[in-house]
């Protein structure tokens, strides 16, 4: 870190983020859906930016736009960073984008300072991290690690086009997606910067979050069966009101999740009442309960305990309860050495930092299957994301890019010294 | 009651109820929608049954099928009874029907015994008591009392036909609906038998419920505004979860309504969550709270207190609450003399009875605007109504018809002796 040298240009980061924001559907900013024309145009622009930063752009078989700069050692081992530039409908200007721009800026800073890493450097713009119209999400990062299955590629959007065809349109080579891509085996480390998409850093005034991992997600569908009845003619004492049971569950989940301490969240986000008439005692309620934590055991235990307690309440109310565990996503842990490199960079720059978990999934979660990963979060205003008002201060994005740059240089040294 | 004489024929009641049940859409029993072909065919049959019971059938301007038998006094004053034979979609064989058949049987018993009342006797089959496709309900009884407004008559069903046109098709004369119909001014009393549509009489083993009145209904729409957020990235401590607030309201309403004692009910039957995604903290919940009681003040107080308490909870949770009182239907009290006549008839026949309120609306509620009314309830299985499995024992319907017959004779004497 003692070089004279590589410096992040915050103004350039700002300009690029503003320029990229112009690639949006005019009537619903900010919308740049993967596989659409605006997305292709934005990537054509991005490829030129890569070039201006000394990165050779090319699409891999998964349709990821990858900027490459060869290292001095020539052993093929690579350090990688990046994120994605596709958006949800009516999304923002920073989700994913900040990560690609920070990675690009770090590469450009190295290039401008004439600093060449020992490792090759790869900057990824992953294809379609956001849920796509074809049914899958994290399409490019899944492809990188060999998890974009034939079934996923056969998925179609409402117009009937298959994902396979769409990946080809996006520059990929779906016939080559038979296992991890060549880059996967070369990765010594992957770093992803992302806006927090939550309010913690902003509230605490901390500019950098070092992500310990992406939480495990457990989901359980719960159906409470009571008995529909006329709201005028069914006395209170003879009711079997499914919504009363469901409300008790919501209250219980709320109280217990709040008591579970930081890093644990649980939510009933989806709830439907049947028949849902103002003058009908609810006969059935279907809801989905989810819990998230880095501690998978805590997630499972919370769901189990929620079910046990809801069964007790249901019995008291004369309801029957059906519970079914839906998909469970395991936790993904960041690599301790990569976290240490990020924290060391923060300390050297005098930037406050805190460890935190990521409650949302990211491309890094896929990459973790083939390489050590770590993420850093920067604050975003009001925790807002997937919204046109999504905002991050450029100074924070630039600070994050600086930390990433410094960490890449640390890791370039450390990982060359025989640690793999 | 000391005549040799008029006797209810339970077997005839059973046959008629079974025959009427055949007028149903074949693929969704029991469906006989007002204004439909099956309804018209059923009424043609019913008119003949009226005739066989000594009742002269005719449609009034409101499309009610009215069977008439002249009284001995010839002063135009009339005693009336009846209900309706239209059904909801997928309804039952007894709702409304039992009341028309009991009234018809009482008239026939008088006729067969050669007993002629002093008052004229009217048996009503009211048009479209159930909510119609034209937007209104209790169409015939509203017409009788002069409350079928031009706005209601201008209502259209999805196919575009106006209610005015439909009433004409059903035998009415909508141009004459400018005020109460001639029969309205002649009514000395109106009695309606109905299945309870609730479980109380069956549970208590009591064959006759004497209805003290039809409850007041108060409805309030409540919207809780929180803040939608990512269920993974929004810590529990920073959430403003609208569903947590709504669940507290549901619990509170449940506890307080149960404590309010018999005759009071309150229900949250309709509740919608926005955006209703499994991974999104609920940003908004819209619900409808209703309360019913014979005591209108208690209904109002309950809604007020529910709002007050919900506001407190909302404040604690960082939610905003909007509450709006929707339609409020006033309570309708039965006439004490009519109730006494029903109870006297029960006592004389050794039939157990209890007073109760009606939690649902009925044609009698409309008729009460122009004449003293009372209702009697008979038990129905499991409290089930508006369902193909709706069931009442014919013995109970026949017992109710006997009570109605006896009460009509009592009232015929009492009301002739100079009272009103």
Closest Cβ opposite residue A278 in set B282, B288, B383: B288
Q: Which band of pLDDT confidence, cut at 50, 70 and 90, is reported for residue A159?
A: very high
pLDDT at A335 over 60: yes
Q: Decide: A236 and B258 in contact? Cβ < 8 Å.
A: yes
Q: Decide: B299 and B291 in contact? Cβ < 8 Å.
A: yes
- Cα of B416 to nearest chain A Cα, Å: 35
Structural domains of chain A, ranges and CATH numbers in brackets: 10-214+331-416 (3.40.630.10), 216-328 (3.30.70.360)
Beta carbons of A247 and B251 less than 8 Å apart: yes
Q: Can you list the positions of beta strands (E) in A116-245?
A: 120-126, 187-195, 208-214, 216-225, 229-230
Best to test chain B binding among A240, A278, A332 (most B CBs inside 10 Å): A278
Helix or strand or coil: residue B373? strand
Closest Cβ opposite residue B233 in set A254, A290, A383: A383
pLDDT at A357 over 60: yes
User: What are φ and ψ of residue A301, in 5° steps?
Assistant: -65, -35
β-bridge pairing A208-214 and A332-333: antiparallel
User: What are φ and ψ of residue B274, in 5° steps?
Assistant: -125, 135
List the single residue in A with minimal CA-CA distance to B216: A232
User: In this prediction, what percent of chain A has a pLDDT beyond 90?
Assistant: 89
How far, in Å, CA of B191 to CA of B194, rounded?
A: 10
β-bridge pairing A65-69 and A56-59: antiparallel
In this prediction the pTM is: 0.83
- Cα of B56 to nearest chain A Cα, Å: 35
Q: Could you tell me which of B415, B412, B392 has the C-alpha nearest to residue B102? A: B392
Calculate ∠ Cα B44-B49-B52, nearest 5°: 135
Within 8 A of B258 by CB-CB distance, chain A residues are 236-237
How far, in Å, CA of B403 to CA of B344, rounded?
A: 9
Mean pLDDT for B402-419 is: 89
User: What are φ and ψ of residue B30, in 5° steps?
Assistant: -105, 115
**pLDDT tens digit sequence for B241-297:** 999 999 999 999 999 999 998 889 999 999 999 989 888 899 999 999 999 999 999
Within 8 A of A271 by CB-CB distance, chain B residues are 243, 271, 273, 276, 282
β-bridge pairing A373-378 and A187-195: parallel
Q: What is the pLDDT of residue A75?
A: 93
**pLDDT tens digit sequence for B71-127:** 999 999 999 999 999 999 889 999 999 999 999 999 999 999 999 999 999 999 999
Q: Can you list the positions of beta strands (E) in A299-388?
A: 320-329, 332-333, 353-358, 373-378
pLDDT at B398 over 70: yes
| Beta bridge mates, B374 | B191
Q: Which band of pLDDT confidence, cut at 50, 70 and 90, is reported for residue B135?
A: confident
Within 8 A of B270 by CB-CB distance, chain A residues are 273, 276-278
Beta carbons of B250 and A247 less than 8 Å apart: yes
How far, in Å, CA of A303 to CA of A314, rounded?
A: 16
Maximum distance among all Cα pairs of chain B, rounded to whole angstroms: 83
Beta carbons of B229 and A383 less than 8 Å apart: yes
Q: Decide: A287 and A267 in contact? Cβ < 8 Å.
A: no
**pLDDT tens digit sequence for A233-246:** 899 998 999 999 99
Q: Cα B12 vs. chain centroid, distance in angstroms? A: 25
| Tally of CB atoms within 10 A around B416 | 17
Beta carbons of A241 and B262 less than 8 Å apart: no
Q: Tell me the count of A-B CB pairs closer than 8 A.
A: 190
How far, in Å, CA of A193 to CA of A206, rounded?
A: 15
Closest Cβ opposite residue B290 in set A231, A267, A358: A231
Q: What is the pLDDT of residue A262?
A: 85
pLDDT at A97 over 50: yes
Look at phi and psi of residue B382 and say left if phi exceeds 0, alpha if psi is from -120 to 50, else beta: left
Q: Decide: A204 and A198 in contact? Cβ < 8 Å.
A: no
Closest Cβ opposite residue B236 in set A196, A243, A258: A258
Beta carbons of B232 and A217 less than 8 Å apart: yes
Q: What is the pLDDT of residue B419?
A: 47
Beta carbons of B248 and A251 less than 8 Å apart: yes
Contacts of B277 (CB under 8 A, 6+ apart): A269, A270
Beta carbons of B199 and A235 less than 8 Å apart: yes
Tokens of A202: 């902003």
**pLDDT tens digit sequence for A379-403:** 999 988 888 999 999 999 999 999 9
Beta carbons of B267 and A251 less than 8 Å apart: no
**pLDDT tens digit sequence for B142-191:** 999 999 999 999 999 989 999 999 999 999 999 999 999 999 999 999 99
DSSP H or E run through A166: helix A163-169
- Cα of A68 to nearest chain B Cα, Å: 32
Best to test chain A binding among B214, B245, B260, B269 (most A CBs inside 10 Å): B269
pLDDT at B373 over 90: yes
pLDDT at B420 over 60: no
Q: What is the pLDDT of residue B1?
A: 45
Q: Considering chain A, what is the average pLDDT of its residues?
A: 95
Report the Cα–Cα distance between both ends of chain A, in Å, rounded. Answer: 21
Q: What is the pLDDT of residue A278?
A: 86
How far, in Å, CA of A149 to CA of A44, rounded?
A: 27
Q: Decide: B356 and B207 in contact? Cβ < 8 Å.
A: no
């Amino acid at each position: 870190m003692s070089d004279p040298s590589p410096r992040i240009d915050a103004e350039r980061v700002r300009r690029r983020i503003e320029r990229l924001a112009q690639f949006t559907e005019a009537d619903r900013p900010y919308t740049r859906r993967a596989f659409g024309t605006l997305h292709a145009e934005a990537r054509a622009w991005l490829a030129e930016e890569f070039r201006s930063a000394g990165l050779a752009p090319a699409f891999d078989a998964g349709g990821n736009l990858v900027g490459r700069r060869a290292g001095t050692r020539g052993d093929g081992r690579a350090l990688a960073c990046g994120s994605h530039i596709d958006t949800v409908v009516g999304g923002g200007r920073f989700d994913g984008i900040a990560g690609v721009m920070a990675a690009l800026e770090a590469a450009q800073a190295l290039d401008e300072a004439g600093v060449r890493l020992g490792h090759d450097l790869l900057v990824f713009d992953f294809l379609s991290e956001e849920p796509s119209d074809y049914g899958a999400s994290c399409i490019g990062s899944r492809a990188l690690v060999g998890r974009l299955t034939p079934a996923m590629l056969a998925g179609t959007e409402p117009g009937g086009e298959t994902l396979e065809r769409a990946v080809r349109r996006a520059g990929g080579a779906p016939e080559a997606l038979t296992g991890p891509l060549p880059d996967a085996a070369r990765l010594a480390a992957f770093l992803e910067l992302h806006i927090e998409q939550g309010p913690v850093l902003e509230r605490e005034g901390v500019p950098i979050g070092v992500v310990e991992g992406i939480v495990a997600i457990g989901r359980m569908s719960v159906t409470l069966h009571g008995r529909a009845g006329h709201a005028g003619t069914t006395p209170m004492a003879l009711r079997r009101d499914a919504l009363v049971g469901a409300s008790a569950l919501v209250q219980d989940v709320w109280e217990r999740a709040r008591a579970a301490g930081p890093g644990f969240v649980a939510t009933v986000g989806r709830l439907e009442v049947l028949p849902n008439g103002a003058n009908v005692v609810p006969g059935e309620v279907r809801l989905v309960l989810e819990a998230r934590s880095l501690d998978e055991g805590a997630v499972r235990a919370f769901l189990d305990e929620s079910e046990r307690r809801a069964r007790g309440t249901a019995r008291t109310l004369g309801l029957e309860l059906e519970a079914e565990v839906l998909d469970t996503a395991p936790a993904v842990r960041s690599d301790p050495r990569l976290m240490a490199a990020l924290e060391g960079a923060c300390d050297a720059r005098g930037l406050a930092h805190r460890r935190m978990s990521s409650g949302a999934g990211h491309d890094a979660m896929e990459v973790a299957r083939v390489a050590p990963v770590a993420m850093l979060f920067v604050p975003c205003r009001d925790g807002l994301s997937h919204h046109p008002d999504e905002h991050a201060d450029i100074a924070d994005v630039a600070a994050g890019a600086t930390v990433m740059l410094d960490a890449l240089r640390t890791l370039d040294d450390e990982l060359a010294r025989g640690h793999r």
